[in-house]
Structure 1
Amino acid sequence: MAAYRAGVLIGNWSEDASLEEDRLRDFMRKRERGELLIQKINKLQDTIFKKIQLSVSRDGLVHFGDTVMLLNPGNNSSVENNPGTCSSLTLAVTVDETFVYSTKSLPAPCGVSAVQSVDPVGQNTFCILSVDGAAVGEPIRFGQKFGLGTTGGFSDQMLYLASDHKSFIRFAKKSYLQQVFLRDELSYLTCWQATFLDPQLRLEYEGFPVPANSKIIITHCHTNRSLAVPRNFWTRTYFGQEYEVNCHTYLDSHKAEEDKNYWVIVTRNPSNEDGTMIDRPNPQPRQD
């Protein structure tokens, strides 16, 4: 009797062939819709991970139209009180499963968070927008209203940083304080202003240009509460550990804002196209 060979059709060969045809059709259908894993990875590289070039501040000030990062520098005490936290966090768009597993644009409203990456990419860069008719290129001033819009990573749309009073259905998920989010239209909810860091000098600095790469307070105009990263509320996502951002003024015993409310508007290092001013080494004192 002849021995069986690999070419002999035995068992459920018809079902196997049918399943193989179904897998091929499913593959072709997903490729047409852009749902393949490699296509999703390329989509992320072209959006949230797309490298963005920040604006250069020639005069050391922040201007309307500038592309910047918003960095919460923290300090040693925040790291000691919350082991495992990063000393520097940047404001970023929260990207959830809906965006990762679909070919659609970011939903509106959309969440924001603070991430440990300090490299300017589509997820954590914003554009300074005028809301009162100021021209592009003019420096923003302490007490002047401005908006913050998403940038090049999501070129097909722009979302605006916003906040609103806390309610029974609208609040930050972890801290239950005032929520910060992104919406798709400018309004009184998307207006912010820069406040001088030292409370005793705020009246004197009202109307002065806002310096870039220096600590300031960013206050929501409608609710008069300040943008903050408390750092003790965080979640794990596809892209690492992300910290909650809320709108709440944290005051110390001297009625001054704590480091949770400190922000630095970061610009590009003019001597390095891919670097930022926070990467620039401090000049060493001259030794005679």
Structure 2
Amino acid sequence: MTQARTYSPNVRVGNWIEDLVLKEDMLKDFLEQKGRGELTLQKVGTLRDNIMKSVELSVTLGMVRFGDTVMLVNPGREEPDQRDPCALSILTDISNIRPPPQQTDNQSLQAPCLVGGARSLQPCVRNAFVIDSVDGTPKGDMLLYDQSFCLRTTAGYAGGLYLASDVKSFQKCAPKSRLQEVNLVEELNFLCHWKLKYIDPQERLEHEGFPVSANSRVLISHCKTNQCLSLMENHILWTPFGKEYEITAQTRLDSHKAEQDGNHWIFSTSDPGNHGHTLFQTQQANQITEETQSDPQPVSDPTPDH
């Protein structure tokens, strides 16, 4: 049986001096960690404040261009099986925080990091991505269908990580569905190459080499595995930011050999007429307003009661 401690260090019994020194050292270490911001509670607060900081998306003239900062939005689904829209977002915790270099307080995320589908559509560091070229195309040129590109997180706290995927294996796969994993890595290589496909399979060949319209549905295909970026609505991840959908690379076809809505994505850009909002949010709000106005109103009987 464990012997109960009946005396405190204030009572001069046993190794009381060692207990006092140990208690003072623990308090000293705690105060030093607090001063450096290394306490777990402080790290969690710093992480949330930095990764949820708002980001200004690019304002496009109709076409997606290299160098644009966009938000990847899955438009969701209407009735009967309704699903809310969600944005491709970084999944991270304090274990992904890179220690700041000497003589600076600048922190950033380090790979690997998972991604998920968050219901929050407010542009921030967590869900903003930059379209970069992998074939030498100058910044500002239009992105074409079937042209290779990469998606990079914003510089600064997000660390400039690249969206990547690889063939699934027993040791490397999505945590819930066990399908092909999608994550963020630091090194740019062929695993980070993606290309866009036209949404309609019957017109896909005709659109190869043509510019991609912003804020329209597209398919994001992985160059190495030829699997499309997919939102897994039946697999929910518990994250520090709440419940979110799992994101994998998996082409999911319906009975007509067309990609399902889980493979549909929109390169959402900023709405110049509504600061801080995206064009997708504006379109959603206008659609709700039109549906509300189009609802039939009850017609009252003009005949007075006798």
* Bin of the TM-score, shorter chain as denominator length: 0.7 to 0.9
The CA distance in 2 between the partners of 1:254 and 1:186, in whole Å, is 36
Q: Deviations over 1:135-157 (max 9, x none)?
A: 111110111111000114625x3
Moved over 6 A (4+): 14-20, 100-104
Please give the secondary structure, in 2, of the residue aligned with 1:246: strand
Q: What's the counterpart of residue 174 of structure 2?
A: 172
User: Aligned AA for 2:109?
Assistant: L
Question: 1:127 and 2:127 equivalent?
Answer: no
Instruction: Identify the match of residue 91 of structure 1 among 84, 88, 93.
Output: 88
Equivalence for 2:280: 278
Which residue of 207, 210, 213 maps to 1:208?
A: 210
Shift of 1:272: 2.5
Higher mean displacement: 130-139 or 98-107: 98-107
Superposed counterparts of 1:48-67, under 5 Å:
48-57=51-60, 59-67=61-69
Pick closer, same or farther for the CA change 1:78–1:144 going to 2, 3 Å.
Answer: farther
TM-score (norm 1): 0.84
1:143 equivalenced with 2:146 (yes/no): yes
Aligned-partner residue type, residue 31 of structure 1: K
Aligned partner of 2:255 in structure 1 is 253
2:157 is the counterpart of 1:154: yes
Hey, what does 1:193 align to over in structure 2? 195
Distance 1:267 1:233 in 2: 28
Indicate yes or no: 2:29 matched with 1:26.
yes
Deviations 1:21-79 (A, max 9, x none): 4554133221243223563255224531111110001x211110011110111202584
Match status 1:117 vs 2:120: yes
* Paired letter, 2:172: R
Q: Give the equivalent residue in structure 1 for 2:296.
A: none
Q: Deviations over 1:136-195 (max 9, x none)?
A: 11110111111000114625x311001111122221111111111111111111011111
Residue 229 of structure 1: SS of its match in structure 2? strand
SS at match of 1:278: helix
Would the aligned equivalents of 1:93 and 1:113 in 2 still touch at CA under 8 Å? yes
Amino acid corresponding to residue 123 of structure 1 in structure 2: R
Structure 2 residue 216 is the aligned partner of structure 1 residue 217: no
For these two proteins, the number of residue pairs brought into alignment is 269
Per the TM alignment, residue 102 of structure 1 is displaced from its structure 2 partner at its CA by 7.4
Preserved contact between residue 96 and residue 109 of structure 2 (Cα < 8 Å): yes
Residues 161 and 106 of structure 1: CA distance in aligned 2, closer, same or farther (over 3 Å): same
Percent identity over paired residues: 44
C-alpha separation between the residues in 1 aligned to 2:277 and 2:165?
A: 31
- The amino acid that maps onto 1:131 is V
- Of structures 1 and 2, the larger Rg is shown by 2
SS of the residue 1:120 aligns to = coil
SS at match of 1:172: coil
Q: 2:38 & 2:50 partners in 1: Cα distance?
A: 16
Q: Is the 8 A contact 1:40 1:101 kept in 2?
A: no
Distance 1:221 1:74, change over 3 A: same
CA offset at residue 222 of structure 1? Answer: 0.9
> What amino acid sits opposite 2:131 in the alignment?
I
Task: Please name the residue that 2:74 is paired with.
Answer: 72
Contact preservation (8 Å) 2:96, 2:113: no
TM-score, length basis structure 2 = 0.79
**What's the C-alpha RMSD, in Å, of the aligned pairs?**
2.6
CA change 1:171–1:78 in 2 (3 A) is: farther
Distance 2:162 2:213 in 1: 22
**Bigger RCO (CA 8 Å, 6+ sep):** 1
1:83 maps to which residue? none
Q: Which runs of 5+ in 1 are unaligned?
A: 1-10, 81-85
Tell me which amino acid in the other structure corresponds to 1:200. Q
Q: Residues 189 and 53 (structure 1 numbering): CA distance in 2 closer, same or farther, change over 3 Å?
A: same
Paired letter, 1:39: Q
